[in-house]
Chains A and B, each alone.
Chain A
């Protein structure tokens, strides 16, 4: 049996969760204020995932960059390949919150979307 302390990152409470487990079976869990904490630990033990945010070059807007994020968490191990794709993308103003920059990035069932309204500079 293994035991480990997790810090839940799902909400700002950041609960410290003590878990004893074997493989991906959880035997005992303490310290999570809500059941999302349990889901988080289950996910961490089997397939840890994160969302990422970054920015993409944009032409014709007031600033040279437009902020973007993923719509769904992706496996941790794929973060840098997704970053590479994001760094290859570019946009032309105008863009609006929610516009899809890359659909289904790296086949991971998550889209890269715009998180900032940027109008075209006249």
Chain B
């Protein structure tokens, strides 16, 4: 069997940034495995700009951002194989790859999971009505339009206010389609405020909050949807139903980390993030298996993905040099109004980077990190919304005991 120091599964921004950082830290025996024909991940189809502002100080499109990392990986002479899908990962880090030349098995010392995420589909939603043609996931519609020159329709309704749906509302409008409505079941948008502004408001596309699609009509192609207002418990308010004619329904109802391989390796997942449970080194509960990027928790900004992967690389290189990492025996718990937090456990011996999201929008609050009765940090926040990931750094010496760390929002 082949042996490698590090196998990286997935050549998107997370995998590429991890590879480059490892190489710079003196780890040379690295292989990136990518299922698609090219490296770059999902950003290849995100042709709009707005990427890389934090990282490069200029605003780039998705393909440009990816290309910078692809070039870096090439310049550093890091090996990669494309058109190669990892089909199995074992608990002892044997990676099985389906390549154009047949199956390849590699025994790795460390494995980095950077498989990204996939979109939630209509199946996960249970909308009644017929199942006609003309219903697309936002990301699928994006790849049809931006990569393959296939327009999905002319009269569009969008369900869900996730960022990809908002970006697609603008993209479809620019290409001459009419987007008549975006429906969001929650009382607040799930995408970023800047995307509401520049993708919907700029083109007078109405956003219906607390609204859900309750019926889909048409056969063989979709002809209309019926939408209705919902109450706080997401129950339909009778009498508010309205029909919207359309030839296309776009679903933008969220992303889920792609974790089949993690599960086959015996990695424990967090029910909140749907990604692995990790420590401050981004190591999962299987020693030597690490995870970062969208496979770990859904990110909205690729700049943060790259940073996270670089942080991970520090941990991996230490693991390879020292043979193991300090035990992470301090749990990090989510308190009031915290949706999830990464890492879920820490050793208390190293500075950490914490990422979290609030569960519902709040104004004028405090983000409080505490350990027992001791407050580690209390940060005033003018606003906090689920669409925006919050990141902060904490010093190793802020952790004064082995008691659980609690993260919460005080209003």
* Interface residue ranges of A16-71 to B (CB < 8 Å): 16, 31, 50-55, 57, 62-65, 67-69
Q: Are A12 and B301 in contact (CB under 8 A)?
A: yes
Contact B198 A50 (CB under 8 A): yes
Question: Would you give the shortest CB distance from B178 to chain A, in whole angstroms?
Answer: 13
Cα–Cα, bound, A82→B146 (Å):
18
Q: Which of B63, B193, B198, B388 contacts A116 (CB 8 A)?
A: B63
Encoded as 1 (CB less than 8 Å from any A CB) or 0, chain B from 205 to 223 comes to: 0000000000000000000
Residues of A within 8 A of B301 (CB): 12
Chain B residues in 8 Å Cβ range of A16: 193, 383
> How far is A14 from B175 in the complex, measured between Cα atoms in Å?
26
Instruction: Please measure, in the bound complex, the distance between the C-alpha atom of A63 and the C-alpha atom of B382, giving whole angstroms.
Output: 46
Answer yes or no: A83 CB below 8 A from chain B CBs: yes
Most interface-central of A31, A53, A116 (chain B CB within 10 A): A53
Instruction: Give Cα distance in the complex from A31 to B148, angstroms.
Output: 42
A76 to B149: give the CA distance in the assembly, Å.
25
Binds A, one of B47-55, B328-336, B339-347: B47-55
Interface pairs (26), CB distance under 8 Å? A7-B193, A9-B197, A9-B198, A12-B54, A12-B192, A14-B193, A16-B383, A50-B202, A51-B49, A53-B48, A53-B49, A55-B47, A55-B149, A57-B149, A64-B149, A65-B148, A67-B61, A67-B63, A67-B146, A69-B48, A69-B61, A76-B202, A115-B60, A116-B44, A116-B63, A116-B64
A50, A116, A117: most-surrounded residue (chain B CB, <10 A): A116
Q: Is B174 an interface residue (CB 8 A)?
A: yes
Query: Contact between A54 and B192 (Cβ–Cβ < 8 Å)?
Result: no
Say how far B49's CB is from chain A's closest CB, in angstroms.
5
CB neighbours (8 Å) of A63 from chain B are 147-148
Interface residues on A, range: 20 to 34
A79 touches B174 (CB 8 A): yes
Chain A nearest Cβ from B177, distance in angstroms: 12
A1 contacts partner chain B, Cβ-Cβ < 8 Å: no
Residues of A within 8 Å of B289, CB to CB, are none
Max chain B C-beta neighbours (<10 A), residue from A50, A51, A62, A68: A51
Report the bound CA distance from A97 to B69 in whole Å: 14
A64 to B151, CA, bound (A): 13
Of A8, A9, A64, A97, most buried by chain B (CB within 10 Å of CB) is A9
Q: Is the CB of A115 within 8 A of B53?
A: no
Complex interface: chain A residues within 8 A of B273 (CB): none
**Complex: chain B residue closest to A68, CB-CB:** B47
In the assembled complex, B194 has its CB within 8 A of some CB on chain A = yes
Alpha-carbon separation in the docked complex, A117 to B47 (Å):
13
Please name all residues of chain A whose beta carbon is closer than 8 Å to the beta carbon of B53 when the two chains form the complex. 11-12
Q: Does B196 contact A (CB under 8 A)?
A: yes
- Taking CB atoms, residues of chain B closer than 8 Å to A50 are 198, 202
B221 CB → nearest A CB, Å: 24
B67 in contact (CB, < 8 A): yes
Contacts of A14 in B (CB 8 A): 192-194, 197, 388
Q: Report the Cα distance A18→B148, complex, angstroms.
A: 42
A52 touches B146 (CB 8 A): no
CB-based closest 8 A-B pairs? A14-B193, A67-B47, A116-B63, A14-B194, A7-B197, A115-B61, A9-B194, A64-B149
